[in-house]
Amino acid sequence: MKAAVVFEKGSIPQYADFPEPAAISENEKLIFVKAASIKHLDRARAGGKHYSTENQEHQPTIIGSDGAGLLEDGTKAYFFSKKGTVAEIASADKNFIVPIPEGLDFPTAAALPNAVMGSAMGLRFKTKLKAGETVLINGATGVTGKVAVQIAKLYGAARIIVTGRNEEALQSLYELGADEVVSLKLNDEDFKQKIKEIQSRTPIDVILDYIWGHSIEMLLSALKGDGTFSHKTRLVSVGGMSGDTIQLSSQILRGTDIQISGSGLGSWTAEEFKLLLTEIIPEMFQAAVDGKLKIETETVDLKDIKTIWESEIQNGKRVVVMI
């Protein structure tokens, strides 16, 4: 079969022949893949730079962690697999397969779950977002951030503040449910003052962060308490596009009612991941069918994987390989 294969650690995936999945167990199913998205996670894992691959010895590997296609009986399904998904045929544990509803196309079904995972898991399980709360999404102009705005609204957030550097993309977030935008291009003092003003008007209950780095240092500094009672804020880290480390003053932790956690592979319980597949993704698939959840995609043929891997994709779009 044809697949997108990384032959050497850190190399560019190649359109190549690869053995079809071997005889599978009774708990696995074959999927004839129609679409598979390419995400930061997949690029990091392919390059051996993701924390989940640090201790793995590299061997020729099919890229991709999820996809959408047809089961042997013709059922449309989304699936998650650690065995590679950007290939004509893949296999997956039957417990990691989700039916795709009628009316949802393969590119959307392939692109949406990872973005849902990056927002819904943090909002639902790490921050336990309640209806009526105020949410700040830091770094909201990317694919997952845009989906996060919509999911926060679906989960009942009363007010959504978003930050980002792309001014045009920031303004477009109003259409998706954002109530206020704050540019990360502001100088540090102006940015912190803007956050302080927001905090005084509508205290921030939840921060969903996609970029970490200096922007989080500024947010935490703006929320720092003054020795009196402070509003409780739950901050959850989902990504680190602006840097993997920050400087955190112990005074912020002692003087501010803030809870810091992370949401990603390894941080969820088995039960939470099961709920992702059995409840959350099906709910979001239906929301997409109903027009309540949107994600932009850019499709490319499998044979062009090398070209797309080296290309810059328009901000806010998810690359989907069609097979």
pLDDT in tens, 252-301: 999 999 999 999 989 999 999 999 999 999 999 999 999 999 999 999 99
pLDDT-derived band at 150, boundaries 50, 70, 90: very high
- The set of residues, in sequence order, having a beta carbon less than 8 Å from that of 130 and lying 6+ positions away, is 156, 205
- The confidence score (pLDDT) of residue 23 equals 63
- The set of residues, in sequence order, having a beta carbon less than 8 Å from that of 236 and lying 6+ positions away, is 122, 123, 126, 127, 206, 207, 208, 209, 260, 261, 262, 263
pLDDT in tens, 32-47: 999 999 987 788 767 6
- Is the pLDDT at 115 greater than 70, yes or no? yes
- What would the mean pLDDT of 16-38 be, rounded to a whole number? 91
Q: Are 62 and 46 in contact (CB under 8 A)?
A: no
For residue 46 the two structure tokens come to: 């392919």
- Is the pLDDT at 53 greater than 90, yes or no? no
The DSSP 8-state label assigned to residue 87 in this structure reads: B
Q: Are 151 and 120 in contact (CB under 8 A)?
A: yes
Three-state SS at 109: helix
Residue 88 burial (10 A CB sphere; 0-12, 13-18, 19+): middle
Q: What is the 3-state secondary structure (H, E, C) of 43-74?
A: HHHHCCCCHHHCCCCCCCEECCCEEEEEECCC
Question: What is the enclosing helix (H) or strand (E) of 165?
Answer: none
- What would the mean pLDDT of 111-139 be, rounded to a whole number? 96
| 57 vs 59, more confident | 59
**Length in residues, the chain:** 323
- What would the mean pLDDT of 209-218 be, rounded to a whole number? 97
- What percentage of the chain has pLDDT greater than the value 90? 81
Instruction: State how far Cα 132 lies from the chain centre.
Output: 23
Strand-strand pairing, 233-237 and 206-209: parallel
pTM recorded for the entire structure: 0.91
For residue 131 the two structure tokens come to: 């209806």
Distances 317 to 42, 43, 143, 147, 187 between C-alpha atoms, Å: 15, 15, 6, 11, 28
Q: Which residue type sits at 40?
A: H
d(CA 95, CA 92): 8
pLDDT-derived band at 10, boundaries 50, 70, 90: confident
Average pLDDT of the chain?
A: 92
Domains of the chain with CATH codes: 2-100+295-322 (3.90.180.10), 118-262 (3.40.50.720)
- What would the mean pLDDT of 55-61 be, rounded to a whole number? 73
Q: Are 9 and 58 in contact (CB under 8 A)?
A: yes
- The confidence score (pLDDT) of residue 191 equals 98
- The confidence score (pLDDT) of residue 41 equals 72
Q: Are 29 and 86 in contact (CB under 8 A)?
A: no
- Is the pLDDT at 186 greater than 70, yes or no? yes
| Cα atoms in the Cβ-side hemisphere of radius 13 Å centred on 156 | 8
Of 276, 311, 301, the closest CA to residue 86 belongs to 301
- The confidence score (pLDDT) of residue 42 equals 81
Q: Are 151 and 194 in contact (CB under 8 A)?
A: no
For residue 257 the two structure tokens come to: 């009612």
- What would the mean pLDDT of 76-96 be, rounded to a whole number? 95
- What would the mean pLDDT of 224-232 be, rounded to a whole number? 88
d(CA 158, CA 134): 6
- Is the pLDDT at 55 greater than 80, yes or no? no
d(CA 279, CA 4): 31
